[in-house]
Structure 1
């Protein structure tokens, strides 16, 4: 039988797998790390499957209680799967939409979607019957988001609202999408401009020092420094887990970013061949060791699902806007954003190392080769040359680590 510890420690693998409890109940773990409770049972001589719900929303004890309820229904001559889910309120439909889509999202994106609904939408209209909601109500909710200065966030929320109503229409729960035309009355998004990024090593060091001196959570400061040193996309760092790191105390430490958190086509996100290898400089290793001390990670008794940079709720990553807000407080608003580290890495190293390094720099950033034949046949990771790049980058950002 399962234990709470075993359920929490269950980590994503290249393929989905099951962890059995008893009497047909098991935990199903997807390659993206989503965990859900399922019950295998027989009805009229046929094997059937009942999806109970997602962990940690449903605990081990609650899943066992659902199993017993389902078994009782079977003894009463009722198929548990025939009892349709009652969906009436906006929140009920939104959560059903979320469960329907979460397996196709990365864990970090799924957490962001749910958190944004819980923060901005559910308190205002969550309890309302979905079929009764009108466009002016949605516009009022979205304007509250705009009033916080989050124009792009409000735009994304409108898109999610429209997707939820579309899901409700498909399920026969409503006959209209009141979010469809709300965008016409919302604030106009600012023109898309290149994201600001620092272009000299001196400025980069100045930012990192200022950010380190700012009060706030250690996880945000450490994640900021690690993001700078690895030049990956923000989502890769936010969702980073300890079991993705290889040879931390050895001569060639490496971080393999799972394809689920890379900017890839969905068909590649479950294929471990497309994991992105990031050699870790001495400076990056130093950040990881400090994070291990700060958050009590024990390599001798690892919890494979432990986040390297956890949020206030240790089971969730730091917030999507936490590092950006840190840079604003440090006095770099409009000068540098988290995604800007990729531009800084490319600009500074290309200027420092010259044109011969351009191809290696692109590969270090996980950019696809322009030559499609090369992309198909040249799968050499060239880790030695890539490691030299990150070592040089680490020395430029933090020469005091040696």
Structure 2
């Protein structure tokens, strides 16, 4: 007869383990210790097999029958229930090993193989570290949008709105990597797109008055810090490239004979190769720098080691030392100085100025028709700008 809870509770242990049947292959095994365990006996490929379902009362009679019915359905599909349970257990244990911390490390390794810039790798490491504090040891399959939001709110509570948005984006990149690798099914950060406070866009301080810019160039000439820092600031002003690109410049990218600096895509913000024409003022500085710096790959190595570039804070710190606050001028501000004054001159095609700055046209249709690099005009523009700086310095 089928079992019921009263019968099961009244089953007593004996000198030997024994079993009591329910029906359709399901039975309960009463062990010598008094423990009771559900089992399902079945046949597959002519062989008798046994599926261990679980212990009573943790697994109730109803749940045991439900498990038996699932096993019967698997048998109908030609699946061995015992093997299916072992596979499920293996996947569950594997999932526990597929933590966010491990997937994040794999994503970072992928970025290194792709040749991402040192700045990008540093930011990725920083963001992963922030996320790992809260859910690094959790399997990615168990991490939910509310968990991630809790982490983002901690960053947001400190007023770091931009960092919170970038952290959400980085976590999303790691989850999409996990999805592509078959480890996760969805990216939970997608649901958080509108959950964070939008940061107010603050433009970096820049000097756009010619006289004030001339005074700054004079101050740079008289800078009493490291000579390499002084040269870096001068090249930053003349070439109008991003501070990170100048700091990370290597000698094998510089062709003094052809007067061209070729920056590889991996170092560029927009991930496109970028060539920078070198006017005579820049060439003179580079020749002087080469005579000073004949070791290592970097134009501007760290003071501590030749194998790394100067710190990202060095150039801004030099401006502060000269008396320019962050509200007056930043290392990145030289680009705005160039863009503003070159456009105001009315001498140059705005597209040539944008390409000089390595900006990418956002309008896809217009970009398709503006594939030219405006190279010849950019060479003339570079000569004009270097001469303009000389003029305002002299003035």
Note if contact 1:231-1:365 (Cα within 8 Å) is conserved in structure 2. yes
Name the larger-Rg structure.
2
Q: Deviations over 1:338-377 (max 9, x none)?
A: 33322211333455xx423446655544567998798457
TM-score (norm 1): 0.56
Note if contact 1:255-1:277 (Cα within 8 Å) is conserved in structure 2. yes
Q: Which residue matches 2:275?
A: 276
Note if contact 1:241-1:308 (Cα within 8 Å) is conserved in structure 2. yes
Q: Deviations over 1:225-254 (max 9, x none)?
A: 42222112334323311111122xx7x743
Match of residue 130, structure 2, among 120, 124, 132: 120
Q: Which residue matches 2:50?
A: none
Q: Which residue matches 1:35?
A: none
Note if contact 2:289-2:299 (Cα within 8 Å) is conserved in structure 1. no
Match of residue 339, structure 1, among 332, 340, 347: 332
Distance verdict in 2 for CA 1:208–1:389, change over 3 Å: closer
Equivalence map 1:2-401=2 (5 Å): 88-102=98-112, 106-117=116-127, 120-122=130-132, 125-135=135-145, 137-146=147-156, 149-175=159-185, 177-182=187-192, 184-190=194-200, 192=201, 194-207=203-216, 222-247=231-256, 253-262=259-268, 269=272, 275-282=274-281, 285-286=284-285, 289-290=288-289, 293=292, 296-298=293-295, 303=296, 306-311=297-302, 315-318=307-310, 323-324=315-316, 327=319, 330-351=323-344, 354-358=345-349, 361=353, 364-366=356-358, 375=370, 381-382=376-377, 385-396=380-391, 398-399=393-394
Note if contact 2:95-2:139 (Cα within 8 Å) is conserved in structure 1. no
What is the CA–CA distance in structure 2 between the aligned matches of 1:208 and 1:140, rounded to whole Å?
47
Distance verdict in 2 for CA 1:113–1:373, change over 3 Å: closer
What is the CA–CA distance in structure 2 between the aligned matches of 1:135 and 1:212, rounded to whole Å?
53
Q: Deviations over 1:117-164 (max 9, x none)?
A: 365344554444434445555445434544665321221111111221
Q: Which runs of 5+ in 1 are unaligned?
A: 1-83
Q: Equivalent residue of 1:187, what SS? A: coil
What is the CA–CA distance in structure 2 between the aligned matches of 1:259 and 1:397, rounded to whole Å?
33
Distance verdict in 2 for CA 1:379–1:227, change over 3 Å: closer
Deviation, 1:171, is 3.1
Q: Equivalent residue of 1:189, what SS? A: coil
Deviation, 1:110, is 3.6
What is the CA–CA distance in structure 2 between the aligned matches of 1:366 and 1:348, rounded to whole Å?
17
Structure scoring higher RCO (CA < 8 A, sep ≥ 6) equals 1
Q: Deviations over 1:379-400 (max 9, x none)?
A: 6535752452243144146559
Which is worse superposed, 148-157 or 370-379? 370-379
Which is worse superposed, 126-135 or 211-220? 211-220
What is the CA–CA distance in structure 1 between the aligned matches of 2:247 and 2:385, rounded to whole Å?
20
TM-score (norm 2): 0.57
Q: Deviations over 1:309-343 (max 9, x none)?
A: 34566544455566456656754323334333222
Q: Which runs of 5+ in 2 are unaligned?
A: 1-93
